[in-house]
């Protein structure tokens, strides 16, 4: 079966290029939703979707690769039967998928998707159920990307930023979200001590972003201390260095000058 041979050749090519192991692995729907945090779902009915937007499966991630090429010979008979029906022009029922952002995950119809790819089709009819998540699915390409999304979701539960503030706080290393969460909580604790009142997480998050994060990021820009990092990475680094070197939580020109001389 040519589709199976293409899948084997693709794996070999990926190995020769030293690509990560998860490049050709289909994304598991439940892992994606767990990482992003599910809020709700709703049926959208019959839609026409692009084949290249189908990146995963609910329960068949071992039988097909990312391009829905069969990964074992056990699917051959059904695959060939469906391919023959397609070539004869016979009606093929719509598949069923979950939609997360712009991504689709097959619930029923894996062989139909595989055959459609092999025939060079670009779209396919599908019954779509949309899943709404706490964190946007943007940026998910491989299974490894789920780690970043998972840690970001946990961070936003601890530091519930909203709107533009949420979009501004970005880290490349998922582990740093835990460090940033602890940093914001410590900042909030000092704020409550200073003001002698209890503040909930939403209030602390909003005030940290407005009174600490944005002013500091602006200082870092002016001092040319952001570099090739994200603004949040620069903030986290300089905040840690500030306290380690100077033992202070204040921000002023002397602090920035000291940090600039030690970078």
Which residue reads 């835990």 in tokens?
Answer: 178
On the CB side of 61, how many CA atoms lie within 13 Å of its CA?
17
pLDDT of residue 255: 61
* pTM of the full structure: 0.60
Q: Residue 208, Cα to own-chain centre: how many angstroms?
A: 25
Phi, psi of 134 (to 5 degrees): -65, -40
Distance (Å, whole) CA 41 – CA 99? 9
The Cα 180–Cα 155 span in angstroms is 8
Sheet holding 27-28, edge to edge: 27-28, 54-57, 103-108, 95-100, 123-133, 38-50
Q: Are 150 and 174 in contact (CB under 8 A)?
A: yes
d(CA 149, CA 35): 6
Measured in Å, how far apart are the chain's first and last C-alpha atoms? 58
* pLDDT at residue 21 in the model: 45
How far apart CA 99 and CA 104 sit, in angstroms, is: 5
Query: What residues does 50 pair with on adjacent strands?
Result: 123
Side-chain half-sphere CA neighbours of 153 within 13 A? 19
Q: Are strands 54-57 and 103-108 parallel, antiparallel or unpaired?
A: parallel
For residue 206, what are its two tokens?
């909003």
Q: Which domains does the chain have, with CATH numbers?
A: 2-133 (3.90.1530.10), 159-262 (no CATH)
Mean pLDDT, 10 residues at a time, over the chain (263 residues)? 47 42 68 88 94 86 74 73 78 91 91 86 93 84 72 88 88 87 92 92 94 90 86 88 60 62 59
pLDDT of residue 175: 83
Judge whether 172 and 128 are in contact, CB under 8 Å.
no
Cα dihedral value 68, 33, 31, 154, nearest 10 = 150
DSSP structure class, residue 52: G
Q: Which of 120, 257, 234 is nearest to 169 (CA)?
A: 234
Predicted pLDDT of residue 91 = 79
- Give the pLDDT confidence score for residue 9 in this predicted structure: 45
């Amino acid at each position: 079966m040519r589709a199976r041979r293409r899948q084997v050749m693709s794996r070999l090519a990926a190995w020769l290029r030293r690509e990560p192991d998860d490049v050709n692995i289909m994304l598991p729907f439940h892992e994606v939703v767990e990482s992003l945090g599910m809020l709700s779902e709703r049926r959208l009915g019959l839609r026409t979707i692009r084949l290249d937007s189908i990146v995963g499966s609910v329960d068949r991630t071992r039988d097909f690769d990312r391009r829905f090429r069969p990964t074992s010979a056990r699917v051959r008979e059904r695959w060939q039967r469906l391919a023959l029906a397609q070539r004869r022009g016979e009606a093929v029922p719509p598949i069923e998928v979950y939609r997360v952002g712009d991504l689709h995950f097959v619930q029923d119809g894996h062989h139909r998707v595989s055959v459609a790819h092999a025939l060079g089709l670009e779209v396919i009819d599908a019954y779509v159920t949309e899943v709404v998540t706490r964190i946007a699915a943007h940026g998910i390409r491989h299974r490894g990307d789920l780690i970043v999304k998972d840690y970001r979701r946990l961070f936003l539960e601890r530091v519930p930023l909203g709107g533009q503030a949420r979009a501004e706080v970005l880290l490349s290393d998922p582990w740093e979200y835990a460090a940033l969460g602890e940093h914001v909580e410590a900042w909030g604790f000092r704020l409550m001590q200073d003001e002698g009142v209890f503040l909930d997480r939403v209030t602390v998050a909003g005030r940290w972003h407005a009174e600490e994060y944005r002013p500091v990021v602006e200082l870092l820009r002016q001092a040319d201390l952001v570099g090739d990092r994200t603004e949040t990475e620069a903030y986290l680094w300089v905040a840690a260095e500030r306290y380690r070197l100077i033992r202070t939580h204040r921000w002023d020109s002397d602090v920035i000058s000291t940090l600039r001389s030690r970078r």
